[in-house]
Chains A and B, each alone.
Chain A
Amino acid sequence: MMESAVDKDETDRGFAALAGRIALIVLAAIGVLGGTGLIAGFLTAFSEDANGTLSMRDIAILAGAALFVLGCLYGGWRAIRSMRAADVAAGVPTPRENRNRLVRVVAGLLGAVIGLVLVLHHDTPASSPLALLDGPLSPVIAIVLALLVGVLTPALSLYWYLRVVDEQEAAAYDKGALVAIHAFWVGAPVWWLLWRGGLVAAPDGVLIYVATAVIATVIWFWAKYR
């Protein structure tokens, strides 16, 4: 029997499938940024070495990194295509959903610009996955990025929250923010106390920030799409 438009659950795209596609896109973005950073760092080191010549090993590393970046781009593109196909199959998006999508695209582009600038301007050896966030920046780049993060991002975020999302998504966002702020309020002092007791390494502000953002995002996603 044919399923009518009334019976069809237009948003039942499968929570796990949607989560998997988004995880793939995030991993691909991280891979692109990491691979681009590796290539940029490698070429910077090479240009600073006056007598430097690219050995076969260097070329192999660069080619491998370039292939990795291309692979990540392809994987991310496939995941985005798959998401779009699932969305089309689910029916026509409402005007509010279209506005939401537009804001997310703008936010994604903004994040990509910030990420790329960070990757191309850091000159710290990638000794840890978070070294990207600790490298020194020129004052001009730092000010431009601070303006993007401190003015443009909150303006976009406020517009999204106050004008674009419906109340169900706002409630999901509130839930994520509530859990994240409590994780921060509890997690940060617990880490600090354990550090003072000599039991763990010193608290890492970047790690705490990233963990808080990840918790808020995961809870928002679960509350909105479950």
Chain B
Amino acid sequence: MKNRLKVLRAERNWSQADLAVRLDVSRQAVNAVETGKYDPSLPLAFKIARLFDLAIEEIFDDGERRG
């Protein structure tokens, strides 16, 4: 799944470790989500959305369009 995590992180000048500490995950997990190798669970997606003060769909894009 595509996402804007790296861009949002860059806007705040956070490293992967900075974001990982805020989300209470490993740097590996942040990297896996950023590169699309791992799709986060709904609780983690909400946590990410709250951290950036955005809606989930403003961060993650599943490629589906609304009908």
Decide yes or no whether B24 CB sits under 8 A from chain A.
yes
Interface residues contributed by chain A, number (CB under 8 Å): 26
| List of A residues within 8 angstroms of B40 by Cβ | 167
Nearest CB of chain B from residue A95's CB, rounded to whole Å: 7
Interface pick from A1-9, A46-54, A144-152, A154-162? A1-9
| List of B residues within 8 angstroms of A224 by Cβ | 28
**Do B9 and A168 touch (CB < 8 A)?**
no
Decide yes or no whether B56 CB sits under 8 A from chain A.
no
| List of B residues within 8 angstroms of A4 by Cβ | 13
Nearest CB of chain A from residue B40's CB, rounded to whole Å: 7
Answer whether A97 and B27 are a contact pair too, CB < 8 Å, given A6-B10, A167-B40, A167-B41: yes
Tell me the number of A-to-B contacts counted with CB atoms below 8 Å.
Answer: 75
Decide yes or no whether B14 CB sits under 8 A from chain A.
yes
Q: Which of B1-44 contact A (CB under 8 A)?
A: 6, 9-10, 13-18, 20-21, 24-33, 37-38, 40-41, 44
A interface with B by C-beta (< 8 Å): 4-12, 90-97, 100, 166-169, 171, 224-226
| A–B complex contacts, Cβ < 8 Å, 14 sampled | A5-B15, A9-B31, A10-B15, A90-B27, A94-B17, A95-B24, A96-B26, A166-B24, A167-B29, A167-B44, A168-B29, A168-B32, A168-B33, A169-B26
